[in-house]
Amino acid sequence: MSDLSTLPAKEESTPTVEGRPRTMAADRDLEIEDVTLHLDGDMKRELEEEKEMREDGGGKDPFKNKKVHRVVSKWMLPEKVRRTYLERANCLPPPVFIISISIAELAVFIYYAVWKPQKQWITLDTGILESPFIYSPEKREEAWRFISYMLVHAGVQHILGNLVMQLMLGIPLEMVHKGLRVGLVYLAGVIAGSLASSIFDPLRCLVGASGGVYALMGGYFMNVLVNFREMIPAFGIVRLLIIILIIVSDMGFALYRRFFVPANGSPVSFAAHIAGGFAGMSIGYTVFSCFDKALLKDPRFWIAIAAYSACVLFAVFFNIFLSPAN
């Protein structure tokens, strides 16, 4: 008791004087400040963002029921537009485009693999080459084939790879950008793929949705690359590595189907992969980077559309007048 009585009665409330030690309260304040200064930059921003959201919502977290949307926003959007997305995020309309396309591709695959006796595990069986959907150089006048080829796939590995990738990437993209924009990018990649194949591999058939899938990947890849620092650098590195790994493995399988196909099979062009990727890196990038802007008012979009249209016109001219398939 005598030791306690020797302590100053109001030490915590007295100011620090030169030559005297800091008070306990001041030490605690200094310690808290030091810990705060050493917080990771990304975590600090996230905490401040959550605090601001709660203050705006009267002490409640207005986005506590939008955990899925918050995860999607961190993977798909730069930091400066995440809050805008979360404020308007909903599941209406749901991501019907990617889901519908995937169901259609799976249904066609099952039809030709089950109801039509085909041996399409690694490559195409000769019977499927008579499908009205496949792109065939001898039937280029049937213009729908430049799009419908995406419904036919060359084996289980081929369709599983495309379905998994377009669902994993396409659904979050459609949640953020909605079906019209995602559909524009996807179909731009599909058309670019068939036209490029008709030029650079004019005597080969073409199947698969890889042009559309690579367009989605190309647009997303460019957004991650351009907004790298705003899309959480650690996640950004992981995302880039995942995309590169998928592209390398899928291109390897495509090259195998093209150059090392069994003697009784039919080689398939792989030019659609490359052309779809370029379509995504141009049109896809401008579309996906205009989340909170009017797309039609962005000059980058019209520049990309003009370049894309010029390539399409050249491909049409080539197919009519210059193609070896003639």
Could you give the residue numbers annotated as active site? Answer: 210, 273
Q: How many residues does the chain have?
A: 326
Measure the CA–CA gap between 215 and 183, rounded to whole angstroms: 10
Question: Which token pair is 260?
Answer: 């090392």
> What dihedral do alpha carbons 220, 222, 223, 227 form, nearest 10°?
150
Question: Which token pair is 172?
Answer: 């979050």
Question: Which token pair is 186?
Answer: 């996807």
Residues 78 and 231 sit within 8 Å (Cβ to Cβ): yes
What helix, strand, coil percent values describe the chain, rounded to 5?
70, 0, 30
Question: Which token pair is 315?
Answer: 């491909």
Measure the CA–CA gap between 51 and 63, rounded to whole angstroms: 12
Residues 295 and 231 sit within 8 Å (Cβ to Cβ): no
**With 0-12 CB in 10 A as exposed, 13-18 as middle and 19+ as buried, what is 299?**
exposed
